[in-house]
Amino acid sequence: MRPSRESIPLGECICSYCPGKCCRYFALPIDTPESWDDFENIRWYLLHERATVFVDDGTWYLLVHTKCRHLNDTNNRCEIYNNRPKICRKYSNKKCEYEDHYVYDQYFEVADQIKEYAEAKLGTRKKNK
């Protein structure tokens, strides 16, 4: 069991106690869907394994659940830490998901969920003839 963030001794890195969650996915912002075509694109994302879509503070994201190839399986630490990409250098663990209790505004795991959401937002889709 991991210690709480507050109980980690001063000067120690929280990453030493974490399973490396931030290195097990990446999320890219996507355009907010406004039309059936937009929702169809998101539906396509969700038909792929290890892909989900979430909304956080009004911004939509494509989330790809895939481990960084440089995350050490034994200690969950970066094997190229001194040469890691800029995006990793900018990342802060001050507000990371260490605690496991982060909640998104919306979270879509399967294509049917986004279809139902689109119908709620846009109404029933008319069939093409």
- The residue extents of the domains of the chain are 20-92+103-117
User: Which pLDDT belongs to residue 128?
Assistant: 61
Q: Position 36: which residue type? A: W
* Average of per-residue pLDDT across 64-73: 96
* pTM of this structure: 0.85
- pLDDT for residue 2 is more than 90: no
Across-strand partners of 60? 30, 55
Using CA atoms, how far apart are residues 66 and 74, in angstroms rounded to an integer? 17
Using CA atoms, how far apart are residues 85 and 109, in angstroms rounded to an integer? 28
Average per-residue pLDDT for the chain? 93
- pLDDT for residue 129 is more than 60: no
Half-sphere exposure of 68 (CA within 13 A, CB side): 21
User: Which pLDDT belongs to residue 1?
Assistant: 79
pLDDT digits (tens, 9 = 90+) for 28-48: 999 999 999 999 999 999 999
